Structure 1
């Protein structure tokens, strides 16, 4: 076991934290290799980690100008338009679970932790936290998470916080500018464009914005190393 992962496990003895290389991750996504994202990394080095709240930027012009953007668009997304952004911050809690229609690419610019679940475990718009799996991503790891994978903001490994690049189909997470229709139960979960969200009932900032309070269980916190 990686020494850092071992320390994380010791500090969170009531949870099981898996390596991203574990077989358990295969139902949620896959590790990506062969992509040179050094140009993106240089840009990310210039971006600070906020220490009060998470900062999510869906589309960053500097990142999208990089040569790799077109390569990712024509390979992993089959030619569909994409947006390249990031999520940085001090988060340590679950808070919510979201999914999109289309894969998401994450790059761990720093060490970080992801809390993942499967949409198949949502029943009547409720999801039990006992079904979640937790994964440690070492700095430099690039992954694809499938559209059936529930996820939310990463958690920090140390007190400096985390940096994570986020690549999605273009338009994802933009404000809804159309009248929502409720035809199926899933429609109640639509929170932003291409973003279906279950919030923990204790997460007042999300609930006050209209997020569906569908998570059953503790809004647990992960301790740092």
Structure 2
């Protein structure tokens, strides 16, 4: 990339003042125009046509997100995200994936991807998902992937007692046992008792798997 082009992509004052997300697209996205930069409500999307320029673009644009195109394989995404993370510590990952490729979606959500969308999604909807993940601190998946994961969840959804549902809801919010006990006005031993039941009912090895499997079954 030339010096003049680096000068051209510096983040503008208007962009900074609005507090918009800065999203760097690596790879292709047919729904997006061929413009180097596009402005949508709450975000700027910047193309990085040459992967060798990613460091410069991430730095110049003060990237908040890397958006990986559907043609990138897992190795490409991991390398690009690692490079971006070395420049911007808090950069987040969003991926455009092939329809119904629920295994890849599940794999990347487990690896820390925050937004996983069908490759046919339009820019406005994609930006809305990224903004939701950015401001609310949640993971966002397209409905098609969520439904596919739910369809392939093994066994029927377990029956949960009212208290188990309350514990699960607080667990989903990231609370620890002590915090859950305080919120429900019970002892930590009681919370641990319900936690053991949740682990058993979801055949989960840890708390994270409880939330993931409950989400896949539509219980969280």
TM-score normalised by the shorter chain: which range applies? under 0.3
Structure number with higher relative contact order (C-alpha < 8 Å, ≥ 6 residues apart): 1
TM-score, length basis structure 1: 0.27
Which one has the bigger helix percentage? 2
Larger Rg, first or second structure (1 or 2)? 2
Normalising by structure 2, we get a TM-score of: 0.27
